[in-house]
Amino acid sequence: MAAPGPKKSGSTKDLRTISAEFMAAVGGPGEFPSGPAEIAIVGRSNVGKSSLVNALANRHSLARTSKTPGRTQAIILFDLALSSGDKIRLCDLPGFGHAKVAKTMRESFSPMIQKFLEESKELRGVILLQDCRRDVDEDAIGFAEWLREIGRPVLIVATKMDELPKTKRGGVIARLQRDFDLEHPPIATSVRESLGISELLHHMRRLARQPKD
């Protein structure tokens, strides 16, 4: 199942989150409280996930940032209410491949993530974050391919675009599109510049409106 393509520039300016609430920290789909359609978000350590979650939620400290990779080992649930009237549950997944997380911990949360992604009845899609300054590794590419294989739409989102000169951004986005074999360019984001936040919310809203499988 393919993720929706990008909207044209100028059509994504007004969508924002008007309220956001922490709901729970859970270990798998069987522990979820009832709620709206789910969108998961995942990425490697130091990819800027907490900052992006805060930007999507329109809150400064909803997702507590940490300098220690792998600090969160549960699935963290945030319920967002958008200015369009839509409600979305954002599922913040533990990162993958953290060098500072013990091997036993990596092995314990990987099956949890797999179970959630395969079995959740409310999950409509997955946001996979990629630091625009880093080369894409085989783990991320393989993860995106696996999501497509199990029928989960995946949105590739390039983070920290403000760290690149504007003259280099187009080339990086084109490279990521090739690396992930995408029909459409990935979504370019920068929390500092408020770049791509409303566009990403539009993608999330369209995914959340898709019917259940």
Q: Is the pLDDT of residue 190 over 90?
A: yes
Range in 64-73, 107-116, 174-183 the model is least confident about? 64-73
Q: What's the pLDDT score for residue 97? A: 54
Q: What is the pLDDT of residue 107?
A: 57
Beta-carbon contacts of 121 under 8 Å, excluding residues fewer than 6 positions away, are 29, 212, 213
CA distance 116 to 108: 13
Q: Which residue has the higher pLDDT, 100 or 206?
A: 206
pTM for the whole structure: 0.86
Name residue, tokens 């920068």: 190
Contacts 24+ apart (CB under 8 A), 135-143: 136/176, 136/179, 136/180, 137/97, 139/96, 139/97, 140/44, 140/180, 141/179, 141/180, 143/42, 143/96
Q: What are the residue boundaries of the structural domains of the chain, listed by start?
A: 17-208
pLDDT digit string, tens, across residues 147-156: 999 999 999 9
* Cβ neighbours for 178, distance < 8 A, ≥ 6 positions apart: none
DSSP code of residue 190: B
Fold observed for domain 17-208: Rossmann fold (3.40.50)
Residue found under tokens 């989960």: 152
Q: What is the pLDDT of residue 31?
A: 85
pLDDT computed for residue 108 by the predictor: 54
Q: Is pLDDT of 208 > 90? A: yes
Quick: pLDDT tens for 81-134: 999 999 999 999 987 654 445 555 555 557 888 889 999 999 999 999 999 999
Range name among 6-10, 103-107, 168-172, 203-207 with the lowest pLDDT average:
6-10
